[in-house]
């Protein structure tokens, strides 16, 4: 039943629950070096409470993510976790929701700040509200004062080697996923996004030129019902958007400023019936004389219902040389419905193929 090269690496194995860490070998794209907590012990979350952000209770998700050592975090049962403050995750962690129905909802979101090597897999994140700020523990031996949060589902700040896979996301206060301030080596794959305005933001400031080194892969995701814009919205950087299914947008799908390089390959874009929103792309705060030099390419995309992808840049741009694992080999857009049919969280059970 696996339909794309990331899923086929692990989903067809009946013993996935006994060898969860094989998942870390399956990531492709710019985040392909991410191993999460595969070099550490398992940590079983048994308590869904989040009552004390300064001295988290052992067995809670907050207690797990502040540990300095590598950990592969799993869940004892179905859980709804209402975070009372942003969840600040340390490096070398995997949050693996397979085998349980895990929701982070009706509270604050997840923060990856100045960390590396984090996998978040198979959880629901929805109805995320701004955090109030205050003193929050961010590691075993440190806590600090945090300002009021924006209400992002997942906020990636100055971090690298991040893989977000099979996450279902909707209805945050701000962005569902933001990656800013020099974050790079990120893969976002097999996710399902619905009911939101600003879906993804990569690079938060036109003035922050260090984001020119940002590299993000967006692959095999489904951008679904009631989405408006930013799928993604990019500044600076290099973005490979490959084999995603865009079935809904109300303003635009892919936008950017500050000359990002955007390579769109094998996506399906189904334009809304509104004649004013047929264009997939949106250049922001730039005249045509400026953006005509930006490299925005569309290759084997399937454009439906009058969808328009406005390309730009030289007719024969220079070949971009990357590691073969950095660039996922695209299939034509006609394959997208199959490639993304299991986007979002999976209902995995032990001893059964996931």
Q: Are the beta carbons of 333 and 319 closer than 8 angstroms?
A: no
Q: Are the beta carbons of 202 and 214 closer than 8 angstroms?
A: yes
Q: What is the DSSP letter of 63?
A: H
Q: Which two tokens stand for residue 212?
A: 């020119």
| Residues linked to residue 265 through DSSP beta bridges, in sequence order | 242, 299
Q: Which two tokens stand for residue 239?
A: 């973005």
Q: Are the beta carbons of 146 and 122 closer than 8 angstroms?
A: no
| Residues linked to residue 303 through DSSP beta bridges, in sequence order | 269
Catalytic positions, written as ranges: 230
Q: What is the DSSP letter of 78?
A: -
Q: Are the beta carbons of 246 and 298 closer than 8 angstroms?
A: no
The dihedral over CA atoms of 114, 104, 249, 297, expressed in degrees to the nearest 10, equals 30
């Amino acid at each position: 039943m696996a339909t794309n090269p990331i899923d086929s690496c692990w989903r067809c194995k009946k013993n996935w629950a006994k060898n969860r860490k094989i998942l870390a070998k399956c990531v492709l794209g710019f985040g392909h070096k991410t191993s999460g907590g595969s070099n550490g012990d398992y940590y079983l979350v048994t308590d869904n409470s989040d009552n004390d952000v300064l001295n988290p209770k052992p067995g809670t998700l907050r207690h797990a993510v502040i540990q300095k050592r590598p950990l592969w975090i799993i869940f004892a049962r179905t859980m709804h976790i209402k975070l009372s403050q942003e969840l600040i995750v340390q490096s070398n962690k995997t949050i693996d929701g397979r085998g349980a129905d895990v929701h982070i909802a009706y509270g604050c979101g997840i923060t990856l700040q100045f960390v590396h090597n984090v996998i978040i897999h198979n959880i629901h994140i929805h109805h995320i509200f701004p955090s109030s700020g205050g003193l929050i523990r961010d590691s075993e031996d440190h806590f600090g004062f945090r300002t009021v949060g924006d209400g992002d589902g997942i906020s990636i700040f100055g971090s690298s080697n991040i893989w977000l896979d099979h996450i279902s996301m909707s209805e945050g206060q701000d962005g569902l996923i933001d990656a800013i301030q020099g974050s790079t080596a990120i893969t976002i794959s097999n996710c399902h996004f619905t009911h939101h305005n600003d879906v993804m933001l990569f690079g938060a400031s036109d003035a922050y030129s260090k984001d020119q080194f940002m590299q993000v892969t967006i692959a095999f995701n489904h951008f679904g019902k009631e989405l408006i814009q930013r799928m993604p919205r990019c500044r600076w950087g290099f973005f490979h958007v490959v084999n995603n299914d865009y079935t809904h947008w109300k303003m635009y799908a892919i936008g950017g400023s500050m000359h990002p390089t955007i390579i769109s390959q094998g996506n399906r874009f189904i334009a809304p019936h509104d004649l004013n929103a047929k264009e997939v792309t949106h250049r922001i705060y730039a005249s045509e004389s400026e953006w005509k030099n930006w490299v925005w390419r569309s290759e084997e995309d399937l454009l439906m219902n009058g969808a328009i992808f406005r390309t730009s840049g030289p007719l024969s741009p220079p070949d971009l040389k990357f590691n073969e694992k950095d660039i996922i080999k695209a299939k034509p857009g006609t394959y997208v419905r199959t490639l993304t049919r299991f986007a979002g969280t999976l209902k995995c059970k032990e001893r059964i193929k996931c």
